[in-house]
Chain A
């Protein structure tokens, strides 16, 4: 089973994603970038990452990952209309604009 790390400061979204993804994947949760970094000591197969978070935000976490050369696929999520541009500038290939269907997310996760 693939291990997915879900990072978002919105608790409801995190919980629901956990509920929806929990049957097919092993889901780990984090509410901000620092929390996520801690969790990344253990291996994961994908990181689902919100852009806007207090503390270490999305772009910050991506930078940290690159700095520590942690190679892990990142999927960006955001309600921000400039998501595509942000993804491109961060060098992240996969992104999902909020609100999204769970099927879309599952599609990306399957292809990874």
Chain B
């Protein structure tokens, strides 16, 4: 439970106050009445008025019984009705005065504003005192204590007495009651002491109290107080001023009563009036000034405080403004970044659309380069790695005419091998190049002639970046972007990452296009092969069937003849005829089998299934068998075939396959040999065996030499067979780890050379070559 201190303003407190007030009032009254000159009840020095006013103002008007009691006591010795009447008058005056101060002079704060001081002076000083004076005269008149001739004197004395006390005593009492503590800095304390000393000196000068300084009856000396009072009013505040006024008043009155000072007149009551008047006027004005000064100081302090507050608020507002500006800037930045991001995404999606639109490589890349310019670059170039080297597939700029111009100039200045251009370096390293700002020094460094430098400068390049095109782990080209002074853009990391992403997509598109092209070519090759194969197989099948029909008819004829004839020799001759025909059929079917086997070999080679059955052999035997297999062709054409087989040539080979090789080479030699002699040689050369087949026939031109080992290549059109002979021969030789080559000149014949190791190395089966 929290205990709140509640001021115990209760009856006890009030009763104590009343009693205290009564006591003080009585004492002050008694002292004051000692100076009653005009009338025994009236004095120009009525201290109790100020005391009672201060008490009722600060302690509350309900303390009025104290005033009344005190007044009654002080008028003891007077007639009862007069005493009570006077007491009532005093009470009324005090209460009225306090009420007037509360209502017109800002109550207890009356000395804080100049106009309140004025109000105090007027209402309590002049008006309330007038009321008191009037009531006093009435009471005394009713009580018969005063004669009409004395009315004005009594009134004035009473008035002045009240007024003086209210103006000279009450302010000090009120201000000290309001704030009793002395909170002065050292400087102020020193000043206060100085002031006090000066006050004492001035009192001495003017009143000879506490010590005499010259002739004190010089009335102008009284004005010496004004500087002192002014000092206190301007520098020491209302409370000190009120105190000074009270002290001064006290001394002045005392001195005057003692007949000292400029106010000391023969008539003491007159002197008191004079001194009261002087003091009251000075007090009123001085207190007013003090209040004004205090007011202004307070106003200044308030202004200072308000200034500080204002300053603070301004700072707060400024800070808040700065914060919201920062937030705005941040928001703007975020939005810009988002927009840039969006633009990048849009560009990438459009680029993907372009890349995916067609499988026509060059057209697609042209389209992509045109999309990039001028959106992301002023120049865009794409280079691809191809069989013959690096090709610039496309170069784009906003102005197509400029593109042509630049391309022509670029041809004039081809890149030098010791200073590879950026796209070359990117392709070699697989790493991108970013140059945010192209300096002239860079151009100078990479130029290899003054003309080329001038050309490079004329492009007004500002910034460039080159990214690799990487597909399936291989760098297949480069994508270059450059800006000129037209856009003034500088490339940085965000642009580079966009370019890298674009490069990825382009590489995938290019790779896909190429794979598709390769697939199409392979499919076409297969289709061509199948077409050729089926076409070529039909011809031998045709002749085979015709021979079958020949056999059928011959058999029918011979059967018919056999039925009628009796001659066994005729019969035998008939059978022989049919058998001869069947023999030809046998040859036909053997030929057909060879053709089909050739086709099967080709497919086996393509799928990597050309298996070799190796055995230890003498190469000379293989040559001899090969020669035997072509003996019919050789003797039919009447060609002279010479073989030169020297020392034994042992090794490990596939007998059937190598016989196939030799047969193929000899068969070609017969076909294209123009009937001239053919020489076959087999000899050792180092660790290898070398077979040579030489003819003196038509020869082969160098263009065909490059192609002749490919599939379906035939020297002349319409030859029987599928053009597979040399292709298969080469595959067989290579799967033994050997090589085959030809030397030939048109019109002079050809020499085929086959080099074979004694045992094949573990080569993987050939297949898929030429993809």
Q: Which residues of A contact B (CB under 8 A)?
A: 9-10, 12-13, 16-17, 19-20, 52-54, 79-81, 98-102
21 residue pairs of the A-B complex, CB under 8 angstroms, read: A10-B542, A10-B543, A12-B543, A13-B539, A13-B546, A16-B547, A17-B546, A20-B549, A53-B718, A54-B717, A79-B534, A79-B535, A79-B536, A80-B535, A81-B531, A81-B535, A98-B542, A99-B538, A99-B542, A99-B545, A100-B542
Q: What are the residues of chain A within 8 A of B720 when measuring CB–CB?
A: 10
A-B Cβ contacts below 8 A, count: 52
Query: B542 near A20 (CB under 8 angstroms)?
Result: no
Q: Mark B394-407, 1 if CB is under 8 A from A, else 0.
A: 00000000000000
Q: Is the Cβ of B539 less than 8 Å from the Cβ of A102? A: no
**How far is B534's CA from A105's CA once the two chains are assembled, in angstroms?**
22
With a CB–CB cut-off of 8 A, which chain A residues contact B718?
A: 9, 52-54
Query: Taking A53-B718, A54-B718 as contacts, is the C-beta distance between A98 and B539 under 8 angstroms?
Result: yes
Cβ contact within 8 Å between A54 and B716: yes
Q: Which of B531, B542, B550, B588: most chain A CB closer than 10 A?
A: B542
Point out residues on B near A: beta carbons under 8 Å. Answer: 531, 534-536, 538-539, 541-547, 549-550, 553, 588, 716-718, 720
- Please measure, in the bound complex, the distance between the C-alpha atom of A63 and the C-alpha atom of B588, giving whole angstroms: 34
> With A9-B718, A54-B716, A54-B718 as given contacts, are A102 and B538 in contact (CB-CB < 8 Å)?
no
Q: In the docked arrangement, what's the CA distance between A100 and B718, Å? A: 20
A13→B543 contact, CB < 8 A: yes
Question: Residues of B contacting A101 with CB < 8 Å?
Answer: 545, 549
A53 to B720, CA, bound (A): 12
CA distance A21 to B140 in the complex (A): 187
- A residues less than 8 Å from B542 (CB atoms): 10, 13, 79, 98-100
The 6 lowest CB-CB distance pairs between A and B, nearest first, are A79-B538, A99-B542, A16-B546, A98-B542, A12-B543, A99-B545
Q: A10-B543, A16-B546 are in contact. List 5 more A-B contacts (CB 8 A).
A: A10-B539, A13-B542, A16-B543, A100-B542, A101-B549
Chain A residue nearest in CB terms to B552: A102
Output the least CB separation between B535 and chain A (Å): 5
**B543 — which chain A residues lie within 8 A by C-beta?**
10, 12-13, 16
Instruction: Pick from B531, B535, B543, B547 the residue with the most CB of A within 10 Å.
Output: B543
Kindly list chain A residues whose C-beta atoms are within 8 Å of the C-beta of B538: 79, 98-99
**B546 and A79: CB pair below 8 A?**
no
**CA–CA, A12 and B541, complex, Å:** 11
A99 contacts B541, C-beta separation under 8 Å: yes
Neighbouring A residues of B588 by C-beta, 8 Å: 12
Q: What is the chain A residue whose CB lies nearest that of B581?
A: A19
Min Cβ gap B39→A in Å is 162
A50 to chain B, nearest CB (A): 9
CA distance A44 to B531 in the complex (A): 34
With the chains together, A9 CA to B539 CA distance in Å?
Answer: 11
- List the B side residues contacting A17 at CB < 8 Å: 546
Give complex CA distance A81, B535 in Å: 8
**B537 CB to nearest A CB, Å:** 8
The interface residues of chain B lying within 8 Å CB-to-CB of A54 are 716-718
CB neighbours of B531 from chain A (8 A): 81
Bound-complex Cα distance A102 to B556 (A):
15
Residues of chain B within 8 A (CB-CB) of A53 are 718
Residues of A within 8 Å of B535, CB to CB, are: 79-81
Chain A's closest residue to B535 (CB) is: A79
Among A9, A20, A99, residue most surrounded by chain B Cβ atoms (within 10 Å): A99
Closest beta carbon of chain A to B115's beta carbon, Å: 128
Residue of B nearest to A9 (CB): B718
A90 to B538, CA, bound (A): 23
Chain B residues within 8 Å of A52, by CB: 718
Complex contact B717–A20 (CB within 8 A)? no
Chain B residues contacting A10 (CB-CB under 8 Å) are: 539, 542-543, 720
User: What chain B residues lie within 8 Å of A9 (beta carbons)?
Assistant: 718
Chain A residue at minimal CB-CB distance from B557: A23
In the assembled complex, the Cα of A15 lies from the Cα of B550 at a distance in Å of 11
Among A12, A17, A80: residue with most chain B CB under 10 A: A12
- Give complex CA distance A43, B223 in Å: 174
Compute how far the CA of A13 lies from the CA of B540 in the bound complex, rounded to whole angstroms. Answer: 9
Rounded to whole Å, the gap between the CB of A43 and the closest CB of chain B is 26
